[in-house]
């Protein structure tokens, strides 16, 4: 959600700044000033190079996320902005809605998520974008769209963009589909008593093509490294003890280190883990609840949450938060649990969507994906 600082900055620009920018936009004797906003350094570089070669267009700056873009808009007063959707700290459509309310500007959404006819393309247009352009298959082919994007920028510079007012306060929440329609999925797993063998069973059945996995197993700090190495030797996917900043990649499982909480984080389309100290949660560190809650916040419907055998209730509330965020959730059944504690507590509060025996958990994960 847009914070107070960003709102204040947008309001500070005010109507006077908007009228000035509109006046500049009407000038026919100078280049169209373009700001490129994309979290990929490769895309920013290629777009800048290609657009700078177009007659009448000048790329005056680039930004890696909406917060940097905010500052560049204030400083550079661009005539047109190109905007990605998947970005760190705030998705592009949420930023677009804020921008159209406080500082209207012609925006062309350029994203791999806005395929023709897709829900995000429609939402981008409804949120104020004057054009929507799909990225080609890879960042290195962005140059292929040079002429098309150049023509759209020239047209956008002449567009009349109206301030969008929304009294419903709906725009004060991250309500777009952008955070759901990411290019990748993620699996998070929690286990305790009996979980070492349960995790081995589940991870060893996952194919190399499986989405990235982050798992919490309650173990003393001196055992998680060895545990991860043991799993790596018997699984088709790579398994390692998580380190702060590790990327969550397809075909890789990260095991939370003992005595440290492990949280899922997201920067644009990239998932990674944050390994940190902190108070015990449900008497545990690492805590399954901490992992699951962070997954709900940054992955939502892109995630699958799995709760396995274990004593206590760690993970139940976090799994419920995941389910409410539209993640798919799976709980191990009583018959195959060493201790039917954590899955039972999760099931009691409605956090478990599917119940499966240990032999079927891996298959259920792939089925719901």
For the beta carbon of residue 104, count every other beta carbon within 10 angstroms: 17
CATH number of 186-368: 3.40.50.180
Which sequence positions are flagged as catalytic? 192, 218, 314
Distance of CA 232 to the CA centre of its chain: 27
- pLDDT at residue 196 in the model: 92
- 255 - beta bridge partners? 215, 241
Q: Where in the chain is the domain with CATH 3.40.50.2300?
A: 4-172
Of the candidates 161, 186, 308, 338, the residue with the CA atom closest to the CA atom of residue 252? 186
User: Following DSSP, what letter does each residue of 118-137 receive, concatenated?
Assistant: -HHHHHHHHTT-SEEEE--S
Q: Where in the chain is the domain with CATH 3.40.50.180?
A: 186-368
- pLDDT at residue 181 in the model: 54
- pLDDT at residue 293 in the model: 96
Of the candidates 227, 126, 248, the residue with the CA atom closest to the CA atom of residue 183? 248
Q: Cβ-count burial of 11 within 10 angstroms (0-12 exposed, 13-18 middle, 19+ buried)?
A: exposed
- pLDDT at residue 312 in the model: 92
For the segment 250-303, what is each residue's pLDDT rounded down to a tens digit? Answer: 999 999 999 999 999 987 778 999 999 999 998 899 999 999 999 999 899 999
- pLDDT at residue 296 in the model: 94
**Under 8 Å between Cβ of 254 and 215:** yes
Low-confidence ranges of the chain (pLDDT < 50): 1-2, 6, 9, 12-28, 116-117, 138-140, 167-176
- pLDDT at residue 176 in the model: 47
- pLDDT at residue 275 in the model: 96
Fold topology of 4-172:
Rossmann fold (3.40.50)
For the segment 2-20, what is each residue's pLDDT rounded down to a tens digit? Answer: 455 545 545 544 444 444 4
- pLDDT at residue 180 in the model: 52
């Amino acid at each position: 959600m847009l914070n107070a600082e960003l709102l204040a900055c947008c309001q500070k620009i005010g109507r006077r700044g908007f009228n000035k920018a509109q006046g500049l936009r009407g000038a026919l004797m100078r280049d169209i000033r373009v700001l490129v906003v994309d979290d990929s350094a490769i895309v920013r570089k290629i777009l800048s190079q290609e657009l700078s070669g177009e007659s009448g267009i000048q790329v005056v700056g680039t930004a890696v996320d909406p917060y940097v873009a905010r500052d560049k808009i204030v400083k550079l007063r661009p005539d047109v902005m190109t905007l990605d959707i998947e970005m760190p700290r705030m998705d592009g459509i949420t930023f677009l809605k804020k921008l159209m309310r406080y500082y209207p500007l012609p925006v062309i959404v350029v994203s791999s998520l806005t395929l023709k006819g897709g829900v995000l393309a429609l939402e981008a247009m409804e949120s104020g974008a004057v054009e929507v352009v799909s990225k080609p298959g890879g960042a290195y082919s962005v140059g292929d769209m040079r002429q098309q994007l150049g023509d759209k920028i020239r047209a956008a510079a002449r567009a009349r963009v109206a301030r969008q007012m929304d009294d419903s306060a709906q725009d004060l929440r991250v309500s777009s589909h952008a955070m759901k329609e990411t290019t990748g999925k993620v699996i998070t797993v929690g286990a305790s008593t009996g979980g070492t063998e349960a995790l081995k069973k589940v991870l060893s059945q996952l194919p190399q093509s499986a989405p990235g996995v982050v798992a919490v197993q309650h173990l003393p700090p001196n055992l998680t490294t060895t545990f991860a190495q043991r799993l790596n030797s018997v699984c088709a996917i790579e398994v390692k003890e998580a380190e702060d900043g590790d990327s969550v990649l397809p075909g890789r499982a990260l095991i939370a280190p003992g005595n440290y909480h492990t949280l899922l984080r997201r920067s644009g389309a990239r998932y990674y883990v944050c390994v940190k100290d902190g108070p015990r949660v449900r008497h545990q560190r690492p805590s399954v609840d901490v992992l699951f809650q962070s997954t709900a916040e940054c992955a939502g419907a892109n995630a699958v949450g799995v709760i396995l055998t274990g004593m206590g209730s760690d993970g139940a509330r976090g799994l419920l938060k995941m389910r409410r965020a539209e993640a798919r959730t799976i709980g191990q059944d009583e018959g195959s649990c060493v201790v039917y504690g954590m899955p039972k507590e999760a099931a009691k509060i409605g956090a478990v969507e599917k119940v499966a025996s240990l032999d079927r958990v891996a298959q259920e994960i792939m089925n719901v994906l």
